[in-house]
């Protein structure tokens, strides 16, 4: 992008690092921001706030900002006997918006994927085990995505929790296979949560 001044070149370069943004789009967005300075300042502030304030909940690994513990973990009206295990915060948001679940969550931070170099160590699994020991919930609901990696992750967790006195259930099939939870409709999720089934655990 020779010909643009230094700060525009820097902005284009930074935007190109965002997922799904190529050099042409980055250039177009940068020029838009140059031409719309009040908006550019608001955007910069919003990005700064997110970067400075948002962190992970010390209990469930969801996003939180004003407190060390997220709103859901702090909410006294949630059902504390259930923990729903999801891959990412956006899966939690999808399940929350279905309105079908009032328990707690545990955000893994991804799913096991040898191809993408994601190993069990990269997920908040130790933390999940500790939580089950400490809080003694009655049920762990596995809501990993209906993909091969999601299934692998769910099987790994079943094995990991094998000796713990907690019931493990899995969302019912009926979600769109091969995709994330985010494309499921609210109805599909309501059904998948209502019709969740106990996971068979060998040796128990």
Residues that bind Zn ion (CB under 5 A): 57, 59-60, 62, 70, 73
Q: Which is nearer to Zn ion, 12 or 60 (CB)?
A: 60
Q: How far apart are CA 83 and CA 48, in angstroms?
A: 32
139: three-class secondary structure by DSSP: strand
Q: Which is nearer to Zn ion, 62 or 144 (CB)?
A: 62
- What DSSP character marks residue 12? H
**C-alpha pair distances (Å), 22 with each of 28, 29, 31, 44, 101:** 10, 11, 14, 20, 39
Residue 67 · residue 77 · CB < 8 Å: no
Residue 60: CB minimum distance to Zn ion, A: 3
Residue 61: CB minimum distance to Zn ion, A: 7
Residue 53 · residue 65 · CB < 8 Å: yes
Kindly report the CA angle at 130 between 169 and 190, in degrees rounded to 5?
30
Q: Which is nearer to Zn ion, 57 or 184 (CB)?
A: 57
Residue 131: CB minimum distance to Zn ion, A: 10
Residue 90: CB minimum distance to Zn ion, A: 15
Residue 62: CB minimum distance to Zn ion, A: 5
Within a 13 Å sphere around the CA of 8, how many CA atoms are in the beta-carbon half?
Answer: 14
The two counts, helices (H) then strands (E), for the chain are: 8, 7
Residue 199 · residue 105 · CB < 8 Å: no
Q: Which is nearer to Zn ion, 55 or 173 (CB)?
A: 55
Q: Which is nearer to Zn ion, 91 or 149 (CB)?
A: 91
């Amino acid at each position: 992008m020779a010909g643009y001044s230094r700060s525009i070149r820097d902005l284009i370069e930074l935007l190109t690092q965002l997922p799904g943004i190529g050099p042409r789009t980055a250039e177009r967005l940068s020029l838009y921001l140059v031409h719309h300075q009040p908006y550019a300042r608001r955007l910069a502030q919003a990005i700064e706030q997110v970067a400075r304030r948002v962190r992970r909940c010390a209990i469930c690994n969801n996003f939180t900002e004003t407190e060390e513990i997220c709103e859901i973990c702090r909410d006294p009206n949630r059902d504390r006997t259930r923990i729903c295990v999801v891959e990412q915060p956006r899966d939690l948001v999808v399940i929350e918006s279905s309105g079908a679940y009032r328990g707690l969550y545990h955000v893994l931070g991804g799913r096991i994927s040898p191809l993408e170099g994601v190993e069990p160590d990269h997920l908040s699994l130790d933390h999940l085990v500790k939580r089950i020991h400490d809080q003694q919930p009655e049920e762990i609901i596995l809501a990993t995505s209906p993909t091969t990696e999601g299934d692998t992750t769910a099987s790994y967790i079943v094995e990991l929790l094998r000796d713990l006195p907690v019931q493990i259930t899995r969302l019912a099939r009926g979600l769109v296979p091969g995709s994330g939870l985010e494309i499921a409709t609210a109805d599909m999720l309501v059904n998948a949560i209502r019709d969740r089934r106990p996971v068979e655990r060998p040796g128990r």
